[in-house]
Structure 1
Amino acid sequence: MALYRDVGVVLRVHKLGEADRIVTLLTRRRGKLRAVAKGVRRTRSRWGARLEPFNHVDVQCYTGRSLDVVTQAQTLDAFGAGIVSDYARYTAGCAMLETADRLVAEEGEPALRLYLLLVGAVRALADGERDPSLVLDAFLLRAMSHAGWAPAITDCARCAAPGPHRAFSVAGGGAVCARCRPPGSVVPSSETFALLDALLHGDWHTADAATAPTRRDTSGLVAAHLQYHLERQLRSLPLVERRATPAPPVVTGPG
């Protein structure tokens, strides 16, 4: 029996038998990991609540014949407590977990950068300081960048002509110049291109200042680009609540 430890974020859980669960985690060293947690659905289980989606945990497992088995679990960050009580944060978080699960196709495939990105994004959701839809879109753009699918935003995706360009083609890879523009391209506003660039590079001053229509348009482009390259729909994305956090009122002096 080979014991090992790793840290990871719980992506999803499935019932197994009367009292067990199959837990899927994105871990720091082993990439995606599926393991059986025995007895965690019993009311007397001491650590079953730790193996819930969004939680960041330290697990000890041993290698089994078909699935590994969890023998210990310790909570590092109980992110779920700050997410599941808010619908907008919960639905955005579900889309993050599903995306991470889809991007790592094979168990055991190294995914350190995606793991670190997911931990940071889930922490930002749990903190509740930013619009959940902005956190989600920033995560999706950066996750696609790690996968090699980041949309072109300034230079033309086809000929690399320097921009800015007016058109955007999901099938074409992002921003396209007038010469390369394929049929079916859309023409987003310059503010939408600016928000895409801000989310990809972490410019939160620009992102937080974006208007609600700009955020909606940006979210639509990000979702379409992701699902085109995944070649499948994400079940959680249509449920995401897209709401813009209102800007703070401007306080002016007397007179």
Structure 2
Amino acid sequence: MQYRDTGVVLRTGKLGEADRIVTVITAQHGKVRAVAKGARRTRSKLAGHVEPLRHVDLQLYRGRGELDIVTGAVTLDRWPAVRTDLDRLGTAMTLAEAVDQSAHDRTEDPVPYRMLVGALNRLDRARAEMLLPAFLLRLLAHEGTAPMLDGCVVGTDCDDAPLVAFDPALGGTTCEVHRRGRTVSSRTLEVLRMILDGQVNAVLDTGPSAQTREAAAVVMHMWEHHMERRLRSADLLG
């Protein structure tokens, strides 16, 4: 079956002497893994279009195997400012890795694709310290694992006790009486609530601070707990 879709290349791998396996998050078909035959040859029409962090218009063929076949590809965007800035490139690679970890193969869910394109467009315009944490938190919420931030997840008889900690294993905040997890400030919790409430742009416009750094650490801890693995690309970030 022939089909066409737009997508962002998340990662690639070698196959044989000249082929390339590409993993793409698409607008209509979820995460797709496909073979780009001959893409590692210099004169290939696919070469350059099926590289990581390319926004592409793809033509594919789906057979009976696990891997589809790329029959055509045209680059729509390559986010040039991201590629010339190591910090932004590291963030972009981590965004792509997060989508790769969380998205399901061939699931018709357009949200991860739209989120990634939006995040990369924003990153191409300017750096934003909270872009990655906000993206990860929103992606977790989309997957149904949004944390509880407005009350204590341990006790029901502590409404007046301040929230002072966060435990991803319990799924949210804990109060002074039932403290579990890592200590977190009330201002950091407000940043996380703003992200989940859709006030992402306001958070992204916030300059670096102790609260943004703490929020980023909390979100990364949450991500690793739910995904049960690290984001290796994050190690490239300073």
Equivalent position of 1:140 in the other structure? 136
C-alpha distance in 2, partners of 1:204/1:7? 25
Gaps of 5+ in 1: 242-255
Q: Distance in 1 between matches of 2:77 and 2:17?
A: 28
Q: 2:5 maps to what in 1?
A: 6
Alpha-carbon offset, residue 197 of structure 1:
2.1
SS in 2 for 1:49: coil
Shift in alpha-carbon separation, 1:60–1:206, aligned structure 2, 3 A:
closer
Cα distance per residue 1:95-152 (max 9 Å; x no partner): 11111111124x2122211221111111111222x41x31111110100000111222
Moved more, 18-27 or 202-211: 202-211
Letter of the 2:227 partner, please give it. L
In the alignment, which residue of structure 2 is the partner of 1:194? 190
Do residues 31 (structure 1) and 30 (structure 2) align?
yes
Q: How far apart, in 2, do the equivalents of 1:134 and 1:213 lie?
A: 12
> 2:12·2:52 contact (CA, 8 Å) conserved in 1?
yes
Give the number of equivalent residue pairs: 234
Which of 206, 215, 225 is the matching residue for 1:209? 206
Structure 1 residue identity aligned to 2:34: A
TM-score (norm 1): 0.83
Does the 8 A contact of 1:14 with 1:22 survive in 2? Answer: yes
Q: Deviations over 1:134-182 (max 9, x none)?
A: 1111110100000111222223334577686222112221212234433
Q: Name the SS of the counterpart of 1:9 in structure 2.
A: strand
Tell me by how many angstroms 1:28 deviates: 1.3
For 1:205 and 1:234, locate their aligned partners in 2 and report how far apart those are by CA, in whole Å: 25
- Structure 1 residues 74, 148: closer, same or farther in 2, change over 3 A? same
* SS class of match (2:139): helix
- Distance across 2 between alignment mates of 1:12 and 1:108: 16
RMSD across aligned positions (CA): 2.1
Change (3 A) 1:211 1:5: closer
Asked whether the 8 Å contact 1:158–1:173 carries over to 2, the reply is no
- Residue 137 of structure 1 aligns to which amino acid in structure 2? P
CA distance in 1, matches of 2:40, 2:237: 28
Equivalent residue for 1:245? none
> Secondary structure at 2:39's aligned position in 1?
coil
Q: Structure 2 unaligned runs (5+)?
A: none
Within 5 A, what are the aligned runs for 1:47-86? Answer: 47-66=46-65, 67-79=67-79, 81-86=80-85
Amino acid at match of 1:156: C
Identical pairs, percent? 40
